[in-house]
Homo-oligomer: A and B are copies of this chain.
Amino acid sequence: MTNPTAAMLVIGDEILSGRTRDSNMYYLAGELTRIGITLREVRVVADVHNDIVVAARALAGGHDHVFTSGGIGPTHDDITADAVAEAMGAAIGPRADAMALLQAHYDRAGLPFNEARQRMARIPDGATLIDNPVSTAPGFTIANVHVMAGVPNIFQAMVASVLPKLTGGPPLLSQSLRVNRGEGEIAGDFGSLAAEYPDLSMGSYPFMLNGAHGTNLVVRGTDPGRVDQAMMRLTRLFAQPSE
C-alpha cells in the first residue's frame, strides 16, 4: 500500500523577506509523518494573487492533499481565499454560517463587526469550514485543499481539527544511528545496504562536534520489521567497538 501524498503552500512576504522564520512547515511535516501521509513538496510564495493561484492549482493536481498557511486575515494583504477559489474554479463570497460565527464573536468582545472583519467570512462555494478555536475566523477545505491561518498557534489548532478526518497510511517510522565517522568513510557500505532495502529510505546527515566528523544515519519506512532488520544490519556495520 502506498501512503497518500501531501503538499504544503506557505503564503507570505514576511517569510520570503527573511523577517519571519517559518515554523508551520516543520510542525505540519511532523504531524503528517505521524499519521502516515507523505509530505512530498512545499512551496513558499509571495502575497501575489497570480503566484498563489498557479501554485495552488499545480499542487492540488499533483497530490492527495494540499495544506496552505497564511493570508486569511482581515487586511488588504490577505488574499489567499480569493486566490484558492480561483485556482479551484469556485465562486467566492461572504457565507452565512461564517458571518454568524464572526458576528457572535465580535458581539461578545464588544467590538464592531466592520467591513474588514467581514472579509474573513468570504468562503469559496462548496467549501467546508475549519474550526478556529483561538480567534474564531474559520479556515476552509475545498476539494483536497485545506486553507489555514499563518499565525502558528492558530495554524496548529486548525491542523488538529483537519487531520483526524483524513485517512493516512501506516505511519512512517524512523530510527537513527549516530556514528563517529565522516560521511565519506561510511558512504560505500551505507549505499550498498540501502540498495538491499528499496522499500526503506535511508539518509545520512553529517555533523561536526569538537572538531571531529560524525554522521547520523537515518532509516525510514512503514514496516516495523523491515526498519528493525535494517537497523540491526547498520549497527553491525558501523557500531564502534567499546574501549
Interface residues of A (CB under 8 A from B): 10, 13-23, 25-33, 38-47, 51, 55, 73-77, 106, 111, 114-117, 119-120, 151, 172, 174, 182-188, 190-191, 194-195, 201-207, 218, 220
Q: What are 26 contact pairs spanning A and B, CB under 8 A?
A: A10-B42, A14-B203, A15-B29, A15-B42, A16-B38, A17-B174, A18-B27, A18-B31, A18-B33, A20-B205, A25-B44, A41-B44, A43-B44, A47-B201, A47-B203, A73-B183, A74-B187, A76-B194, A77-B194, A77-B202, A106-B184, A111-B184, A114-B187, A114-B188, A116-B187, A117-B184
Q: Are the CB atoms of B184 and A116 closer together than 8 Å? A: yes
Q: Are the CB atoms of A41 and B43 closer together than 8 Å? A: yes
Chain A binding surface SS class: mixed
List B contacts of A32 (CB < 8 A): 18
Partner of A115, one of B13, B76, B188: B188
Question: Nearest residue in B to A153 (C-beta to C-beta)?
Answer: B208
Q: Are the CB atoms of A205 and B42 closer together than 8 Å? A: no
